[in-house]
Amino acid sequence: MTASTDTAVDLAERARSVAAERIPPFLRWAGGKRWLVPQILRLTSGIEVKRYHEPFVGGGSVFFALPRLEEAVLSDLNTDLIEVYREVRDHPMDIHDRLERYENTRDHYYAARAASPVDAIDRAARFIYLNHTSFNGIFRVNLRGEYNVPFGNRKSVNIPDRAALRAASERLKGARLNAADFERALGDVREGDLVFLDPPYTVAHNNNGFVKYNQHLFSFDDQRRLAESVRTLVEIGARYILTNAAHHSIDELFSTHGRRLTVSRRNVIAGKAAARGSAEEYLFTNIEEL
């Protein structure tokens, strides 16, 4: 066996070992819940999780933090994002090879942003590159569906390396990936399953109750649909954790379906560092305290 083969085998074994435990997400994601992972792990430490569902997967911070699951269903309305997860699962090293061609420069960024790759692996690599070099990791498209986030102008970026992509690939091999609305994504939840819900934070009477959700609008009516879905989850005996805006209209929708916690996060979306600070969010769950 050659030295290069030894290295490849060691790398694969190391990735499998890491993937069995908590691994960092390979995407930056505005509104991601990496900061909330310790509290979620405490909530779930006393329960056995065999099937896990995440219908607003985004950057997948919670999924990647949980111990290896027997079965996971990851969904999002963002079809480009779900394609990235599929390609990382199936072709991690090909994606890494493509990523090595990119540079963290303004000209390179805007050239990549304007490109329209035909190959799925190339599209996934481009998505990851733009995600790590864009302004604050925001995903935003215009009315034509074109990615239009400006260059982040960061001196250094943490593009995922071979080990990170291999570990993510190993973890994703146990997941079913769906590009779907949350209501359809929750259609096969069963008794005893764990569901983590992190929807766009729409509240009533704020900007007419709408926020931009990828190419779509997520309205307060969607929050009402989500509340009905949570009620159904409770009725069938599933466990759920829901994060949402700390607002009385949200409390009114979800407080009857479990207990409410108030959690604090650092707001990293604001454009200027001086404008960033702590913000409160609500966490609803039907998991009892240990």
Q: Is residue 290 in some structural domain?
A: no
Say yes or no to pLDDT of 3 above 50. no
Is-contact 189 235, C-beta < 8 A? no
Of 41-55, 104-118, 144-158, 164-178, the one with minimum mean pLDDT is: 144-158
Q: Is residue 3 in some structural domain?
A: no
The total of structural domains in the chain comes to 1
Q: Is residue 5 in some structural domain?
A: no
C-alpha to C-alpha distance for 261 and 259, rounded to whole angstroms: 7
Q: Is residue 194 in some structural domain?
A: yes
Q: Is residue 138 in some structural domain?
A: yes
Q: Is residue 125 in some structural domain?
A: yes
Reported confidence tier of residue 17, pLDDT bands at 50, 70, 90: very low
Binding residues for S-adenosyl-L-methionine: 29, 33, 76, 198
Task: Output the pLDDT for position 209.
Answer: 46
> 193: Cβ–Cβ under 8 A, 6 or more apart, which residues?
50, 51, 52, 53, 238, 239
Q: CATH number of the domain that 40 lies in? A: 3.40.50.150
Pairing label, strands 259-266, 278-285: antiparallel
Q: Is residue 1 in some structural domain?
A: no
Domain holding 148, by residue range, is: 11-285
Q: Is residue 217 in some structural domain?
A: yes
Of 13-17, 55-59, 185-189, the one with minimum mean pLDDT is: 13-17
Binding residues: 29, 33, 76, 198
Residue whose structure tokens are 């394609």 = 83
| pTM, rounded to two decimals | 0.86
